[in-house]
Structure 1
Amino acid sequence: MAKLGFSNSTWLAWGFLAPALLLLSIFVLGPIGYLIYLSFTTGSFTQSGTQWVGWSNYERAIASPEFWQVLGNTLYFSLGTIIPSIILPLILAALLEQAIALKSLLRTAYFLPAITSMVAVGLGWRWLFQTNGPVNALLEPLGITPIAWLGSSTWAMPILILLSIWKQLGFNLVVFLAGLQAIPQSRYEAAKLDGANGLQQFRHVTLPGLYPTLVFVIVTTAMFTLRSFEQVYVITEGGPLNSTNILVYYIYQEAFALFDIGYAAASATLLLLVALSLVTLQVQLTET
């Protein structure tokens, strides 16, 4: 059989890729393009249509104190979730890798939050931290007066962060465990021969070996925090005093409560740019 020429192979490859590219264009690229178009318009789908306004929506976002407060809330929420969601699973993965008894049971227990409905968990979390809920009932014998956890601009965001850490911990743990299994045991044996203790092995063997995994976990956890919506919607609805209103919930309010589609699209486009920046950063860091 004659070998296919370069041009024939290329056309064959494009033929196989065409269905996937078509679906990608319809369900991903098309909506993204329409989102960007809407960000330059004003009006809503319930009125007479939309009108082109250029960069007005972006200028409004940049000049809006509320937008900057939401952006600050999002940064606070993201950093508060990302850092513990990396450190805790990494330590747990290193410990579980050394454990023998109940390893499978513990892995399953840690991963259960990742497959649990955020809406169901959010309702349970709201019940736990209500003023007359179980958390305050446990603290009362210690002499601590009941705290309005979800009605306090100080405590409401940490409650959401705690829930998000709990939700993301299992997924990151499984990823770290997979990364640990990819590190050759010969590196640890060589480190032991050189007299390295457990902490030194973790620093000089485990962490360098987990570098690509760490980059992946950081980016995916950042994506998780940037697209977080359910916990805010179910537990706080952005309150109190807008202290837990993060970017995705803010976009939802502008689009479906106030029907300001153009401004919501502009805010969503800015969020998209942040997400694309994170993906680009991941690619660059993993290639180095």
Structure 2
Amino acid sequence: MAGNSQRRNRRTSNKKGAQIGSGGKRRRGLEGKGPTPPAEMRKGHKKNRVAGAQARAAARKPAQRRGGKGTSELVVGRNPVVEALREDVPAKTLYVQQFIDNDERVREVLQLAADRGGVNLMEAPRAELDRMTNGLNHQGLVLQVPPYEYAHPEDLAAAAYDNGEEPLIVALDGVTDPRNLGAVVRSVAAFGGHGVVVPERRAAGMTAGAWKTSAGTAARTPVARATNLTRALEGYQKAGLTVVGLAADAETELGDLAALDGPVVIVVGSEGKGLSRLVGETCDILVRIPMPGGAESLNAGVATGVVLYEAARSRA
């Protein structure tokens, strides 16, 4: 019945009970939330919706090889992305996870990308980043490195001749560590070389790791990619270059080689296997680096630096 106050749990007063403190929520609500994020990262903004759609499309579309270009590469994780942007690794798009924890590294990444310019900023759901990275621990940050535009092997010698210089080129045979490739590029730049040639298959390419190791010299030292390294070396021979291969068991020592002051291609193999049979047979001469300390071999980056120093000294 109406007005029956004996019913269980019936409230007979409009007064509320004792109020408990907010636990600091009201105070935190008055605090500033930092600078306004870019439009691409503001939920509900038109640019945010467009960026999300583009990120989903990019995640579904595989990278393709075209002509002399490599493939797109993804740098994954907060520390790797920070380091890549610090070292001026070419970057095309920065993907940032929605509702990411805005820690110091994230703020630095966003600042570096903004300062550089030309880097597209896209916000994407975690599921899309998981799909893009095949489940790697991306920590909410993924940097897309554009395909490297390789030169043609013939272009390296032609550019040297056009400048009135004797070509000094390094070819790598079976070197699979991108850091070694980056170190070789750096040495070529330091000693006045005209470029590096790498095989298209079973060899390191110009990845983000190679860019970082080159310490920025990859921006001015061309790297060419050869479909067949042996045929590329034969082409250099027809153009008047001497092909010199490094081999630990060669009879001729580096100091006795007179060809370094002319047009030359220095061929360096992997630390373990050295030169492949066909490449070794194609070389005009094989030389070894004397190592009185007893070491059996040097890695490709160090060996190349030694030979290039000797070449620069001979040419001077």
Scaled by the length of structure 2, what TM-score is found? 0.19
Higher RCO, 1 or 2 (CA under 8 Å, sep at least 6)?
Answer: 1
Structure ranking higher in helix proportion: 1
Greater C-alpha Rg: 2
Structure ranking higher in strand proportion: 2
Scaled by the length of structure 1, what TM-score is found? 0.20
